[in-house]
Amino acid sequence: MARLVDYLPLFSQQKILVIGDMIADEFIIGQPERLSREAPVLILQHTGHKILPGGGTNAANNVAALGGQVYLAGVIGDDRVGEELVDYLDKAGMKTEGLIIDSSRPTSVKTRILAGGGQTVKQQMVRVDKLKTDNISKEIEEKLLTYIEEIISEIDAIILSDYGNGVFTDRVKERVINLANQNNKITAVDSRYDLNTFKNITIATPNKEETEKAVGFPLDSTENIRKAGLKLKEELNSDAMLVTLGGQGMQIFSEEGISHVPASNYTEVFDVTGAGDTVIATLTLSLASKAKMVEAMKLSNYAAGIVVKKSGVATVNREELTEVIGDTV
């Protein structure tokens, strides 16, 4: 029987297309100086600024950190934030030709203002979101689909990362999933608000809250979790459904049966931000590397257990995974 670590070297052979809402996580960092005379607020002396990948680009960043080859398809604005985000993704070795520039809408950005002294942990004071959530235009839709049609034969799996920012129109959803199925490609869906509309996929990875919204009843018992997973699998006509349950671990529903794993390292949780992106990245790479559904879940659980110990939106690498997994079968 294969050990879980045996799949990790295969990650670098996998080509993963990440389609979705490309969001920049912007951080403005300052050192507190004094209270303002204008209002009861702190004045910060600006000490730093950075743009990091968020949304779909964070899922892509997790794939890249684990050694996978990343193709991106999405929409950015004709602005400084978009340029800085693409520059980061290019330097990380991702293929960004599928990022379509739409001058009519800004790059989606979540700006966090952090404050703290030189030797202290920086605390988030406020977050400002600049997001356009209406559907992309027919013209941009066409450009996006043309790119996906051109590269579909090259890739091994597709991650559909839906943050509700307008990329997943009905046409994009239907065409991408049909293309994937016609070409025997894995499709993994992470949809924050609209999971029920992604039909005929390989697998989806809703968390507890997303699952409850999709099925219409609380996951407050073992039986309800089981009922919800099976209901979603049937409604989406998916090969499998992976429900992530935070401190209660994960449960997968597939043709292999129903299987549950307890949370990895839950006693050391520091920050769960972005953990869902780590899960879907690890899961997709594992399935593309021919892991069974339960094995892919276990690998994803270990990866999530590592990333929640880190501050902010973070990634996991293969060395960290190897160390945690050991000789686990």
Enzyme catalytic residues: 277
Per the CB < 8 A criterion, the answer to whether 73 and 144 are in contact is yes
State residue 292 phi and psi, 5-degree precision. -75, 165
> How large is the greatest C-alpha to C-alpha distance in the chain, in angstroms?
68
Please tell me the distance from the alpha carbon of residue 319 to that of residue 297, in angstroms, as a whole number: 18
Q: Residue with structure tokens 């005929």? A: 200
Listed in order, strand segments (DSSP E) in the chain are 15-20, 22-35, 42-55, 69-76, 95-101, 108-115, 123-130, 157-162, 186-191, 203-204, 240-244, 250-254, 257-261
All residues at 6 or more sequence positions from 325 whose CB lies less than 8 Å from its CB, including other chains = 3, 4, 5, 299, 302
* Letter string b/e over residues 158-186, b meaning 16 or more CB atoms within 10 A of that residue's CB: bbbbbbebbbbbeebbebbbebbeeeebb
Amino acid at 91: K
Q: What share of the chain is helix, strand, coil (3-state, %, to 5)?
A: 40, 30, 30
For the record, the structure tokens of 248 come out as 């209660």
What number of CA atoms fall less than 13 Å from residue 230's CA on the CB side?
A: 10
Number of neighbours of residue 95 by Cβ within 10 angstroms? 18
Q: Residue with structure tokens 């292999």? A: 256
Angle between helix axes 138-151 and 170-182 (nearest 10 degrees) is 10
